[in-house]
Amino acid sequence: MHTNSLYQEVILDHNRKPRNYGKLDHANHHAVGHNPLCGDRLNIALQLDNDQINDIAFEGESCAICKASASMMTAAVKGKSRSDAETLIHEFRELATGKLDANHPNHLGRLTVFSGIRDLPTRVKCAILPWHTLHAALNSLDNASTESNNDSAQTTASD
Amino acid sequence: MNLTNASLKAEAASAFDLEKIRTDFPILKLKIDGKPLIYLDNAASSQMPQQVIDRLVRYQTTQHANINRAVHYLSEVATMEYHNARCKLQQFVNAREDREIIFTSGTTDSINLVMHGYGRKFIKAGDEIILTTLEHHSNIVPWQMLANEKGAKIRVVPINNNGELEVDEYEKLFNERTKFVGLIHVSNALGTINPIKRMIDFAHQHGVPVLIDGAQAAPHITVDVQALDCDFYAFSAHKLCGPTGVGILYGKAALLEAMQPFKGGGDMIASVTFEETIYNTIPHKFEAGTPPIAAAIGFGAAIDYLTTIGIESIAAYELSLLNYATECLNNIPGVKIIGTAAEKTAVLSFTIDGIHPHDIGTILNQDGIAVRTGHHCAQPVMQRFNVPATSRASFAFYNKKTDVDTLAAGIKTVQKVFL
């Protein structure tokens, strides 16, 4: 693929001006995600009430792909129910690992801008890290890693 | 560098037949997405010339059998060629004897051999091991494992803002508990050439043996283990135009003999009963099982190839590339070179303001440019410079000045994308 089709304006814009970036004072769920291959680290904080994501924020050190993915993810799941968020997590992982065709029915909307990542196996983990971390936060696991063993998306993302 | 030195080096560089050399490397004809390959990841692994590829083919098609075993023709040929490869390596590092060269799977394996064979036998609770901030993880983690097992302590030599070791601080670390020094010859992350001779001499004044990680040095600097008087020296074939899966450990014979074996198995024994095993002599004591015979023979061919060109000529040419690349990158606003030691090999680690190295690497790849991005298995170096990662262009003697121009243009493209 051509890399330019990945570094589209929407991704560059979210990298420059990440949405929901920072701390969340009233958070009740947290997770830290890290990618040991590059040292990237992402903190996600949620305010989850009655299985509804009322607020979400992220911060950390990461590449443009990871930061834009995190920014667009937080915008997409804010206000959603836990189960809707889990659906998005599932679909995004399938999209990034090439198992879901963006032209087939899905709930991802503008997130399909990441469909080109499937052609860059070394970068799939960058895009997926925020979603791993969100999953961990929703399930109150303390840590997420792109190297976790028990994750089918991870297995596919390995190069 | 003084003027005489500079002109001498320029002369050596001009006598160097770059176009001829480039035709030796078939991979350099490769196109990536229609763009010519600009391979600047030589510090991770170098490419292989046709001469070495041909040697591997000749071995597999006419010489292969297991070694040190049968009396048939092929076994004798393979055994002899494997031994010849050992002798080439002996000469390459100027070891006194061929039995001081142990074939391993690579630098990491060599260091682990010393940790198990020497460290576990001679290092005790309360002892201290000196390492440096510049070490690759492969010369940190084995010693941490040993320190944890024995209750020993790791002491770390700091670096200055240029990425040079603070040798005065190194000397202050010595005391009666100091029992071992592990020292990288050339930093893989920054290219810094360390003053290892002075550091080895100082350690020896305190009766402390020194292991040199030469993975990044052997391809670029003439190594003379007798002149250095190092106790161990380790490097890998695949960074010297040879195959993956093989490397060497040089060790002083007396030390190797005093050490315990690392791996047990065939070939490393003199006799075995269920009551007792008598170990073989060196180097066989440390080469359990069938070794990487083909790779070792290919390693020997790579050494022949490099010595025909001459490590000195290679170093002089690479220095001219480094100086040119340093100037080009320094002229791009927003680009910062990490590692500005006075003595360097042709490695340029850099950051670009506001752009993550992985994004840099992906966009450069679009122009056919291969650089390494990440922490380079040297996280303490990254922590010292307060960056999570860098991009690293590392040059070999088959790179051209125009490769540097392509890199500089690629960096400007990256900046444009993120404008």
Q: In this prediction, what percent of chain B has a pLDDT beyond 90?
A: 89
Nearest-CA distance from A107 to chain B in Å? 27
* Mean pLDDT confidence for B405-415: 97
Question: Is residue A50 scored above 70 in pLDDT?
Answer: yes
Contact: B374, A38; criterion CB under 8 Å: yes
3-class secondary structure, A11: helix
Q: How confident is the model at residue A141 (pLDDT cuts 50, 70, 90)?
A: low
Output the pLDDT for position A150: 40
Question: Is residue A156 scored above 50 in pLDDT?
Answer: no
Residue B144 in contact with partner chain A when CB distance is under 8 A: no
Is position B230 annotated as part of the catalytic site?
A: no
Output the pLDDT for position B357: 94
Choosing among B362, B382, B414, which should be mutated to test the A contact, i.e. which has the most A CBs within 10 A?
Answer: B362
Nearest-CA distance from A84 to chain B in Å? 31
Decide if A52 contacts A79 (C-beta within 8 A).
yes
Q: Which residues of A touch B375 (CB under 8 A)?
A: 38-39
Burial A20-50 (b: 16+ CB within 10 A, else e): beeebeebebbbbbbbebbbbbbbbbbbbee
**B267 vs B242, higher pLDDT:** B242
| ipTM of this predicted structure | 0.81
Q: How many CB pairs under 8 A join A and B?
A: 46
Question: Is residue A102 scored above 50 in pLDDT?
Answer: yes
Nearest-CA distance from A34 to chain B in Å? 12
In this structure, what token pair is assigned to residue B365? 């790849």
3-class secondary structure, A54: strand
Question: Is residue B235 scored above 50 in pLDDT?
Answer: yes
Contact: A12, B417; criterion CB under 8 Å: yes
**A22 vs B374, higher pLDDT:** A22
Chain center to CA of B400 = 22
* Mean pLDDT confidence for B342-347: 97
* Mean pLDDT confidence for B257-266: 93
Question: Is residue B88 scored above 70 in pLDDT?
Answer: yes
Q: How confident is the model at residue B266 (pLDDT cuts 50, 70, 90)?
A: confident
> In which order are the strands placed within the sheet that holds A40-49?
A52-61, A40-49, A29-35, A143-145
Q: Which residues of B touch A61 (CB under 8 A)?
A: 388
Q: How confident is the model at residue A157 (pLDDT cuts 50, 70, 90)?
A: very low
Lowest mean pLDDT among B44-58, B64-78, B285-299, B311-325: B64-78
Q: How confident is the model at residue A154 (pLDDT cuts 50, 70, 90)?
A: very low
Choosing among A7, A13, A67, A69, which should be mutated to test the B contact, i.e. which has the most B CBs within 10 A?
Answer: A7
CA pair distance B284, B313, nearest whole angstrom:
35
Question: Is residue B278 scored above 60 in pLDDT?
Answer: yes
Q: B97-136 pLDDT, tens per residue?
A: 999 999 999 999 999 999 999 999 999 999 999 999 999 9
* Mean pLDDT confidence for A86-105: 90
Q: In this prediction, what percent of chain B has a pLDDT beyond 70?
A: 96
